[in-house]
């Protein structure tokens, strides 16, 4: 019985050794190298570039006050439509004390001149009624009185404008009312009731009360690398996609290419603009990030192979062409347009030829 157990033990050990030997032998054998194969096919090919940028209105206007003051009322808010000359806000005037003092002084002087002109006119009229002076002399005093009255009315108007922002004789065009200069959508109202605002002058741009734009006239504004700008021309079609609007794209037309580069982190870029055509029922917001795809070159129905099948040596291009016996032979070809995945073959291959690609891992 013991001998039988010994035989079994020896047999088990032998099997382990043999199995290990077979396993190690199989692992040590070189693996068969396999490659992808590609067929030369006829297809349309195009080289395009994608430019990042944003959607902006062509004409965005900053509405500023005509006088210094404090926002007393706001009649509109961002997102609302506004018509040209429609009131957006009303101001409470803060008069400049020097200007106010000068206007009050002008009114007082005009009142004195009017009083004197009235006295002279009354005296002259009494003489004229008794035929003691000529009509010509009388007309002079009458004209002086009219001028004095006009000067007083003008001085009062100026005083009212400086003090109240509006004169009683021209209330409809009050400078206390901030009006839109265009018809469009209010994009932003950066002020609140109680904020102080100042008018634009040579020393200051003035306070923006509202930003208004025509959202029916939009453009794509982006920048393209100098290596690709030479392939662009005005009038080229552009396809715009907006990240915030999934599965939505629309057409545009390239209308501007900057003649001057702008350096950005050591890279020269050129600004481009494209006129956007969008559906009226699609809400496009100002400032949306967008991508513009521009076709730089294209070729129809040309012979192509994947770029991954190419081999390069001494400015020459080769492929491994499959032979009738299944082997591969290195063959020189000439290439043309590439889209980054497939490349046009000008010579060296025929439709249906099979070439070796990348190694299968």
- The DSSP code sequence of 232-254 is --TT-EEEEEETTSTT-EEEEEE
Residue by residue, DSSP assigns 9-30 as: HHHHHHHHHHHHHHHHHHHHSP
Per-residue pLDDT, 16: 65
Query: From CA 24, how far away is CA 21, in angstroms rounded?
Result: 5
- Does residue 19 register a pLDDT over 80? no
How many CA atoms does the CB half-sphere of 290 hold within 13 Å?
Answer: 30
Helices (H), 187-263: 226-229
Give the model confidence (pLDDT) of 165-191 as tens digits: 666 665 555 678 899 999 999 999 999
Going by C-alpha positions, the residue among 324, 331, 336 that lies closest to residue 349 is 331
Stretch 117-140: mean pLDDT, rounded? Answer: 85
Label residue 2 by pLDDT band (50, 70, 90): low
Q: What pLDDT was estimated at residue 123? A: 86
3-class DSSP assignment, residue 31: coil
pLDDT of 75 > 80? The answer is yes
Nearest to 255 by CA among 240, 276, 229: 276
At residue 200, the pLDDT reads: 81
Joined tokens for residue 167: 């004169």
pLDDT one-digit tens code per residue, 129-154:
888 888 888 888 888 888 988 888 88
Average pLDDT value for the chain: 84
Lowest-pLDDT choice from 10-19, 156-165, 209-218, 277-286: 10-19
The region that residue 107 occupies, defined by phi over 0 for left and psi between -120 and 50 for alpha, beta otherwise, is alpha
What pLDDT shows up at residue 96? Answer: 67
Distance CA(53)–CA(242), nearest Å, equals 10
Q: What is the mean pLDDT of residues 37-56?
A: 90
Greater pLDDT, 129 or 31: 129
Residue 328 has a pLDDT of 87
Tell me how far apart the alpha carbons of residues 146 and 156 are, in angstroms, rounded to a whole number: 16
- Please say if the pLDDT value at position 356 is more than 90: no
- Lowest mean pLDDT segment, chosen from 25-39, 47-61, 252-266: 25-39
Mean pLDDT across 304-323: 89
Q: CA-to-CA distance for 348 and 40, rounded, in angstroms? A: 11
Which residues on adjacent β-strands are paired with residue 345?
335
Closest to 356 in 3D by CA, of 33, 39, 91: 39
Quick check: 313 pLDDT over 60? yes
| Residue 227: HSE in the Cβ half-sphere, 13 Å Cα cutoff | 3
Radius of gyration of the chain (CA): 43
Helices (H) and strands (E) in the chain, counts: 4, 21
Q: Does pLDDT of 219 surpass 90?
A: yes
Per-residue pLDDT at 292: 92
- pLDDT for the residue 55: 93
**Percent of the chain clearing pLDDT 70 (strictly above):** 86
Q: Are 237 and 295 in contact (CB under 8 A)?
A: yes
CA distances from 50 to 53, 107, 157, 209, 341 (A): 10, 67, 60, 37, 15
**Residue 295, CA distances (Å) to 41, 50, 69, 253, 298 in order:** 22, 9, 53, 12, 7
Question: What pLDDT does 132 receive?
Answer: 80
C-alpha distances (whole Å) from 307 to each of 89, 299, 310 are: 63, 16, 6
DSSP state of 171: G
Mean pLDDT of 56-83: 91
Which strands make up the sheet holding 177-179, listed edge to edge? 177-179, 87-93, 69-74, 196-197
Instruction: State pTM to two decimals.
Output: 0.64
pLDDT of residue 303: 93
Max avg pLDDT among 140-144, 172-176, 268-272, 325-329: 268-272
pLDDT of 361 reads 65
Give yes or no for a contact between 252 and 232, defined as CB atoms under 8 angstroms apart.
Answer: no
């Amino acid at each position: 019985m013991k001998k039988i157990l010994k035989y079994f033990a020896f047999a088990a050990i032998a099997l382990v050794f043999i199995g290990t030997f077979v396993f190690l032998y199989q692992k040590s054998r070189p693996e068969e190298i396999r490659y992808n194969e590609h067929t030369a096919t006829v297809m349309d090919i195009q080289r395009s570039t994608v430019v990042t940028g944003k959607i902006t209105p062509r004409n965005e206007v900053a509405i500023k006050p005509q006088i210094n003051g404090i926002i007393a009322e706001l009649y509109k808010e961002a997102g609302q439509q506004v018509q040209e000359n429609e009131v957006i806000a009303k101001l409470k005037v803060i008069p400049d004390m020097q200007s106010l003092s000068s206007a009050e002084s002008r009114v007082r002087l005009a009142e004195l001149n009017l009083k004197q002109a009235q006295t002279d006119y009354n005296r002259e009229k009494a003489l004229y009624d008794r035929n003691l002076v000529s009509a010509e002399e009388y007309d002079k005093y009458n004209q002086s009185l009219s001028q004095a009255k006009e000067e007083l009315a003008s001085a009062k108007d100026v005083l009212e404008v400086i003090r109240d922002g509006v004169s009683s004789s021209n209330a409809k065009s009050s400078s206390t009312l901030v009006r839109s200069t265009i018809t469009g959508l209010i994009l932003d109202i950066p002020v609140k009731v109680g904020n102080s605002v100042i008018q634009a002058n040579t020393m200051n741009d003035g306070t923006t009360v509202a930003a208004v734009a025509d959202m029916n006239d939009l453009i794509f504004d982006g920048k393209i690398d100098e290596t690709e700008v030479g392939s662009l021309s005005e009038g080229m079609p552009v396809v715009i996609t907006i990240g915030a609007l999934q599965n939505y794209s629309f057409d545009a037309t390239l209308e501007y290419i900057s003649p001057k580069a702008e350096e950005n982190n050591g890279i020269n870029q050129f600004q481009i603009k494209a006129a956007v055509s969008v559906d009226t029922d699609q809400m496009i917001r100002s400032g949306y990030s967008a991508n513009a795809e521009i076709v730089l070159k294209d070729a129809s129905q040309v012979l192509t192979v994947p770029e991954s099948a190419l081999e390069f040596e001494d400015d020459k291009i080769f492929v491994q062409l499959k032979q009738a016996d299944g082997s591969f032979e290195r063959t020189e070809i000439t290439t043309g347009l590439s889209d980054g995945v497939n490349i046009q073959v000008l010579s060296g291959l025929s439709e249906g030829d099979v070439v070796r690609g990348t190694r299968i891992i």
